[in-house]
Amino acid sequence: MNKIELKNYVQNGDLFKRSVVGARFNRGKSIPNRNIINFSVQKSPQIKVLANIQGSVNSKYVVNIFKDEQRVNIVHDCPDFKKNTKFCKHIVKVLLLLEPDVCKSVCQDIRTINFSSSFNLIKQSKTENFIVKAEELIKESKYYEAISFLEQAHKESSNLNYIKKIADITLKYKLYDQFIKYSVKFKEIRGYINDYPKFLNSTFKSITEYVETK
């Protein structure tokens, strides 16, 4: 997935504006780009859009748009969307941010789009968002922030691979304060380590050496 510069392509509105009820189009257009926590677009082999949007107060919402062999699917979890308002302001905002050719592909048969707030799909979409964001932060050497998103991915999915990834990051970059913080969770990854006692001894030796240099 590619991280892209955010801008509103207002012309995209011509593709779906007639399906938007009330003032939601203008409200969506007015959402500031700073409220977009994460935005990634994959064009091939099938279109896939992942977005995480800051809502009111502490609410964060996920938007997952993906194309399968049959149709376009839009997964979202804001209260307005769940009330069967298909094109809520968050969906409007995401569609406006898409490059025109991508938006055209998404909206080419608007009547067949499958809108869903399925609990399982929401959890899966949130996990994917957290992983995309963590990978971006690792590339930017923002390891503490990346660890936080990996932890959220683990909470959503219970996938121990994300705990292993946290362990790998803390040891590779000597983030021993984070290793200690997550040490209880690290007990869950014994299956990934051939010699767990040796691993722990080596790790705590490194921590001791690190502390002694401070």
Q: What is the pLDDT along the chain (214 residues), one digit of tens a residue?
A: 445 679 999 999 999 999 999 999 999 999 999 999 989 999 988 999 999 999 887 899 999 999 988 899 999 999 999 887 789 999 999 999 999 999 999 999 999 999 999 888 888 988 998 999 999 999 999 999 999 999 999 998 989 889 889 988 988 888 878 887 887 677 766 666 666 677 667 777 777 776 777 6
Q: Which residues of 87-102 are buried (b: 16+ CB within 10 A; e: fewer)?
A: bbbbbbbbbbbbeeeb
Beta strands 60-67; 72-76: pairing state? antiparallel
* Contact in structure between 91 and 74 (CB atoms under 8 Å): yes
Phi, psi angle pair for 92, to nearest 5°: -55, -50
**CATH 1.25.40: which residues of the chain?**
120-212
Amino acid at site 50 = L
* Contact in structure between 180 and 166 (CB atoms under 8 Å): no
**CATH code that applies to domain 120-212:** 1.25.40
